[in-house]
Amino acid sequence: MLRLRFHGRGGQGAKVASRVLGTAAFLDGYNAQDFPLYGAERRGAPITAFTRISRDDIMERGLVSDPDIVIVMDETLLSDPQAMPLSGLKKGGIVFVNTPLSPLETKEEYGIEDHVITLDITKVSLDMIGKSVLSSLAAGVASRIAGIGEEALKGALEKELSGIISDRDLLGKNTEAALYCYNTLVPVQVKTAETIREKENVITLPFETARVSSPAINATGNTPLRRTGNWRVFRPVWNYDICTRCMTCVSRCPEGCIRLNEDGYPYADYDNCKGCLVCAEECPVKAITKVREIHSRSEEGDQ
> Which pLDDT band, with edges at 50, 70 and 90, does 109 fall under?
very high
Report the pLDDT value the prediction gives residue 234, as an integer from 0 to 100. Answer: 92
Averaged pLDDT, 181-192: 89
CA 59-64-67 angle, to 5 degrees, is 110
> Which pLDDT band, with edges at 50, 70 and 90, does 59 fall under?
confident
3-state secondary structure of 75: helix
Mean pLDDT for the chain overall:
88
Q: Are 129 and 173 in contact (CB under 8 A)?
A: yes
Report the pLDDT value the prediction gives residue 228, as an integer from 0 to 100. Answer: 82
Supply the pTM of this predicted model. 0.80
Report the pLDDT value the prediction gives residue 300, as an integer from 0 to 100. Answer: 46
pLDDT, tens only, 153-176: 999 999 999 888 888 999 999 999
Averaged pLDDT, 129-151: 94
